[in-house]
Structure 1
Amino acid sequence: MTITAEHLGRAVDELGLAGRPVLVHAALRSFGEPLDGGADALTDALVDRGCTVLVPAFTEPHFGVAPPPSPPMRPARNGIDYSRPWPREPLAAPDVYTPGCGLVNPHLGAFPAALVARPGVHRGGHPLNSFAAVGPDAAALVRDQSPVDVYAPLRALAERDGRSLLIGVGLNRMTVLHLAEQQSGRRLFRRWARTGDGRTALVEVGSCSEGFPRLEPLLRARARTTTVGAARWLAHPVREVLAAVAPVLAAEPGLTRCSAECLACAHAASGGPVETVPLG
């Protein structure tokens, strides 16, 4: 069997996604069968029904830099053990991120990479955690994203009554839950990126998401599901998710801790970083 545009379009209709902005997290291998047209076929199936497709297009391995030695640039409770060596070697990239760089963290898979390469794509201005979009509301969704406002596209998605769509992946890939963390009162973690004038600046990023599946009982009744091939599609209304999850995390900060050993989860549950110097 080959997954065709007809199969994809039927799923979009079943989930009530037509005409909406949709944040998509997709593992194309989860279909278990060849996808006719590849990653672009999935985007086309959504855009052809009036959707705007939004994806994470993160570039931490390309543009992230090690924390500077200056203590004010190393906030406490920031999800990092500063005594350990910086673990990443940057991938080959220009010195400074631009929305037109065409780069995406390869660990995000084929779908975001294909969308970023499409004509007419719009991409946010965050050097490590940008979002990219195509479709009628693409420019509006990503317009306000900046190094000091990483989740502006997700707020715009909620304002437009958008959906989060998980295809063959779990809640640990549901990025809108990071915005719920922020709305619960947590500060987002700080990381470091080079600016156009050669400085190293603090920018906002999310926390560990491996404990997000613990929210499944809370989210179950709000989800619509269907299956294409072997891939389970799970669609959530973003506005409802934020309204449900943020107060729960405020009341139970440790609910989404993935393990007792995870420093990022511990620091997030404690409220996030202690501010030292301004972002940006």
Structure 2
Amino acid sequence: MTIKPPTGPLCTRESLASDLRALGIRPGETLLVHSSLSSLGWVCGGPGAVVSALLDTLGPEGTLVVPTHSADNSDPAHWTNPPVPEAWWDGIRAATPAFDARTTRSLGVGVIPETLRTWPGALRSSHPQTSFAAVGPRAAAIVDGHALDCRLGERSPLARLEEADARILLLGAGFDSCTAFHLAEYRIAAPQVRNSFAAMTSRGRRWSTVGDTSISSERFDDLGASFEKGHPVARGRVGGAETRLFPLTDAVAHAVAWLPEHRPRAHGV
């Protein structure tokens, strides 16, 4: 059996920080990062080196924020990747552990957010499905008050990031992963849905159902391409990763105008 050598480029904490500074990340700012570790190349030190490089670039006055979503804490009736037998649904609803901001692992957002989730001093918002984790002096203000009936809207960290004039870094990730676009869905005429999860309440663990706005990433890649044509987006390479940097406020405002015309109905759950 032939073992293939690793592919590059070789990335270190120092080289990544240098690339991030060259892209335009500023000390002291608030940064929401969507990321792909594999896109960077071979990273000496793994995801911890990436988190360290981001924190080095932001400095002690900066705040780093990542999505730490846990989509598996949801109604199994809506699962498609893969689906589970209907006969299991009640059992899953009864047995799904309640969300715990300290211990519930993130899912589907990559290993870099999972690394930041357990970083010393990290704080995490309390939504069972769409939490965010943050490190830095603005962390508490960003993650506090995440309402159970507002996954990614006005009472979520996304709105607090907007208030903080945060910028978004797509680090080897595409516009289809840009969660800030979802904030726009709460500001247009979007359908309402029932959303279920296991949460800890004053009466202990409960399977809870709340009303919320329908969300979907459908056509976010097209939305991002449109945004990039009309707004300044810093582009460059961090390691081997194609990277974009832009203000969250601009992205949300563009999405508010674009979505009703190009995606009249949201089909999310």
SS at match of 1:128: coil
* Residues 173-218 of structure 1, C-alpha deviations (whole Å, 9 max, x = no match): 1110111222223246432013433352226476331411112123
Given that 1:131 and 1:153 are in contact with CA atoms closer than 8 Å, whether structure 2 keeps it comes out as yes
**TM-score scaled by length of structure 1:** 0.76
Q: Give the corresponding residue for 1:45.
A: 53
Q: What is the Cα-based RMSD across aligned positions, in Å?
A: 2.9
1:55 aligns with 2:56: no
Deviation at 1:24, TM superposition (A): 0.9
Q: Determine the C-alpha separation between the residues in 1 that align with 2:128 and 2:233.
A: 32
Given that 1:223 and 1:235 are in contact with CA atoms closer than 8 Å, whether structure 2 keeps it comes out as yes
Q: Give the corresponding residue for 2:38.
A: 29
Distance 1:36 1:205, change over 3 A: farther
Match of 1:101 among 88, 100, 103: 103
Q: Determine the C-alpha separation between the residues in 2 that align with 1:85 and 1:178.
A: 30
Distance 1:242 1:24, change over 3 A: same
1:129 aligns with 2:130: yes
Given that 1:177 and 1:242 are in contact with CA atoms closer than 8 Å, whether structure 2 keeps it comes out as yes
Given that 1:22 and 1:164 are in contact with CA atoms closer than 8 Å, whether structure 2 keeps it comes out as yes
Amino acid at match of 1:36: C
Q: Determine the C-alpha separation between the residues in 2 that align with 1:229 and 1:155.
A: 31
Q: Determine the C-alpha separation between the residues in 1 that align with 2:117 and 2:167.
A: 20
Match of 2:252 among 227, 239, 242: 242
Q: Give the corresponding residue for 1:165.
A: 169
Q: Give the corresponding residue for 1:111.
A: 112
Task: Name the structure with the higher strand share.
Answer: 2
Q: Determine the C-alpha separation between the residues in 2 that align with 1:236 and 1:46.
A: 16
Given that 2:19 and 2:239 are in contact with CA atoms closer than 8 Å, whether structure 1 keeps it comes out as no
Q: Determine the C-alpha separation between the residues in 2 that align with 1:20 and 1:109.
A: 23
Amino acid at match of 1:21: T
SS at match of 2:134: strand
SS at match of 2:49: helix
Which consecutive residues of structure 2, in runs of 5 or more, have no partner in the other structure?
A: 1-8, 79-84
* Residues 97-135 of structure 1, C-alpha deviations (whole Å, 9 max, x = no match): 121124111x32211111111121111110111111112
Distance 1:96 1:37, change over 3 A: same
* Residues 141-170 of structure 1, C-alpha deviations (whole Å, 9 max, x = no match): 111212123232111111111111111121
Q: Determine the C-alpha separation between the residues in 2 that align with 1:219 and 1:46.
A: 24
**TM-score scaled by length of structure 2:** 0.78
Deviation at 1:34, TM superposition (A): 1.4
Given that 1:188 and 1:207 are in contact with CA atoms closer than 8 Å, whether structure 2 keeps it comes out as no
Q: Percent identity?
A: 29
Given that 2:171 and 2:238 are in contact with CA atoms closer than 8 Å, whether structure 1 keeps it comes out as no
Q: Determine the C-alpha separation between the residues in 2 that align with 1:137 and 1:189.
A: 32
Which consecutive residues of structure 1, in runs of 5 or more, have no partner in the other structure?
A: 68-73, 75-83, 256-265, 274-280
Match of 1:230 among 232, 237, 240: 240
Amino acid at match of 2:122: V
Moved more, 141-150 or 192-201: 192-201
